A and B are shown apart, each in its own frame.
Chain A
Amino acid sequence: MKLIKMALAAGCMLAGTVLADPPTGYPFVDFDAGLKAARASGKPIFVYFGRYGCAWCDHTNKKTFSDAGLKKRYSENYALVYVDAESGKRLTLPSGERITEAELGARLQAFATPLFVYMTPQGDKIMQVPGFKTVQDFEDYDRYVRGGHYKQKTLLEFLGGKS
């Protein structure tokens, strides 16, 4: 039993290394696994585009993703994907193209991390928002995405109309 626990702990350490800096306690997976899970479940995809050692990612993890309500909301309702902005690890886009995680940053013209990208279950981009965000921000984005408001309104129009 002790050996099994040690093996599981070692596995968690390895997974943490591969994924660099995702917030702890969330079921983040890599892009390919997330896209597959989203297609199977019909859940939208939430991509956390971070960077190894990124201070603002660290700040967002500590200040925002530590919120228990946010963790529950996003863990239950999204396929959570973590992408490392400087990694050479390969992923497959919905088009079938194989690129590196770093190249995804170039395609998204990501100029800052963290960058958060919301996608449909098929992997089509809904919107991307860069930089530190609060719990309230993520709750607003969640209502915008899962409520389907993005089909009729821009995010600014949606947020301008909220109470």
Chain B
Amino acid sequence: MRAAALLLAALAWPAHAAWTWSEPLTVNSVQGSAIFPHLESANRQGVAVSGGTVGVVWEDNRSGSPQCYLAMKSATAANFQPETQLSKAECYEPVVMALGAGRFVAAWEEAGKVHARVMPGGKTLQLSKTEAAQVTLALRDHTLYAAWAEQAGRFRRIVVARLALKGDTLSVKSAQPVEAAMPVDEQGWPALAVAGDGSVTVVWEDRRHRHTVPMVSHRPDGRQFTPPARLTDRKSGSVDGLGAGTGAMRPTLTAWGEQGIAAVWLDKRDFLSGYDVFAAFDTGTRRFGKNIRVQDNFGDNMAQWHALVVGDAAGRLVALWDDARDGTPDVWLSEWEGEAFGDDLAVPAATGPGGQSDPVATLDAAGALHVVWLDRDEAAGARIRYARAERR
């Protein structure tokens, strides 16, 4: 028995050895059995680190309707400050981006349109003129972009905007649909990244092929987006006259290295084992290469959910998701090791009995990984939890 325990400990050692984790903190100050916090957003941008200050955004219904909140914690503080409510009307899917020096820009859907605001301070700006949702942000060299899914006739289409920031005041400098033509089916869940050369890449879910396909376009010249291409290397088409193709959803993006872009999404090409986590890389050519499965074989026969990717200019790249391979949902991560993704590692404080799910994450300027997730407890209510990890 002792030998078996030692063997298990030895096998588990690399997982714990890879990262040194802080003690987890609770982010949301109000919990309850009928309060439901959510970390869902386009590109899963629920946490950012600005000059050492951590900012976390989420939505919950504590006030009787869904509202969006931001909580912050300085590097030296032991706990998060009580959260600030961002919205006044029904609010969903907030995102946050670091502006530096402890400042953030948050964006969200409120009353059916998308909005943004610099925090702390700043006034709320309505980004979309018409019905829109699923807003996301990207920043490079003081240039700020937003993308969202906007109603255009019967369907939504993807719009990318360049925002101007003067002091704490935001304004929309330009807003442009990725395609000028009206959409022929639903588009949604955009993710944005700005590469080292300043080109903007946008991915999104697209149903023009009668099933959900992550599509990609980039804007190399600051003016026009390229015609959409598939992010996935799977073709559409029926099987024996049935269906239109396998599903793939919720693409996420990150700038990576000096010129690269990395994408991660949920993919059902192996339709008997649920969604798997897949990745693709654009090394600077502005074309994504072959698709790579992220999770290891231990997660192969299990559905993965809530996947995202975070990277930095130094070339670090980490994918995170949740799955229930150990019986209940836990948060897992895998790091890019140059030619493949490494072994799946459990986030220590986001594993074990109960449900830990819905990760959001970011890498800070020093390469530390900041992870936020939901820790579900039906009786006490869900907690939003945070932990920081440094590479050993």
Contact = CB atoms under 8 A, between A and B. Distances in A.
Given A17-B154, A112-B274, A55 B242 contact: yes
Interface stretch (B10-18, B19-27, B205-213): B205-213
Contacts of A103: 40
B336 interface: no
Given A103-B40, A106-B305, A109-B303, A88 B247 contact: no
Contacts of A57: 243
Interface residues of B, number: 44
A58 interface: yes
A53 B247 contact: yes
Interface in B55-78: 61, 66
A110 B303 contact: yes
Interface string A89-116: 0100001111110110010011111000
Contact of B211 (A14, A52, A62): A52
Closest 9 CB pairs of A and B: A53-B211, A55-B243, A111-B274, A53-B244, A55-B242, A97-B36, A58-B242, A106-B305, A111-B303
Given A52-B244, A58-B238, A59-B243, 5 more contacts: A57-B243, A86-B212, A98-B61, A102-B249, A106-B305
A28 B310 CA distance: 40
Interface string B214-255: 000000000000000000000010111011111101100000
Given A53-B210, A53-B244, A88-B134, A111 B273 contact: yes
26 contacts: A17-B154, A17-B155, A51-B211, A52-B210, A53-B209, A53-B210, A53-B212, A53-B236, A53-B243, A54-B211, A55-B240, A55-B243, A56-B242, A58-B242, A62-B242, A86-B249, A88-B133, A88-B189, A96-B34, A96-B36, A96-B61, A100-B40, A106-B303, A109-B274, A109-B303, A111-B303
Nearest to B378: A95
A117 to B, nearest CB: 16
Contact-residue bracket for chain A: 20 to 34
B238 A55 contact: yes
Nearest to B301: A111
B188 interface: yes
A158 to B, nearest CB: 26
Given A14-B154, A88-B188, A111-B303, A56 B274 contact: no
Contacts of B238: 55, 58
B306 interface: yes
Contacts of A85: 247
B115 interface: no
A55 B239 contact: yes
B349 interface: no
A56 B122 CA distance: 51
A106 B34 CA distance: 20
Tell me if B's interface is mostly helix, strand, loop or mixed.
loop
Contacts of B239: 55
Interface string A116-149: 0000000000000000000000000000000000
Contacts of B242: 55-56, 58-59, 62
A110 B189 contact: no
Interface of A: 14, 17, 51-59, 62, 85-86, 88, 90, 95-100, 102-103, 106, 109-113
A116 to B, nearest CB: 16
Given A88-B133, A111-B272, A58 B303 contact: no
A88 B305 CA distance: 14
B370 interface: no
A56 B243 contact: yes
Contacts of A17: 154-155, 185-186
A119 to B, nearest CB: 18
B81 to A, nearest CB: 26
Nearest to A20: B207
B271 A112 contact: yes
A106 B38 CA distance: 13
Nearest to A59: B242
Nearest to B188: A88
A52 B207 contact: yes
A63 B303 CA distance: 27
A95 B205 contact: no
A17 B210 CA distance: 10
A54 B247 contact: yes
Nearest to B207: A52
Contacts of B207: 52
A106 B306 contact: yes
A59 B241 CA distance: 9
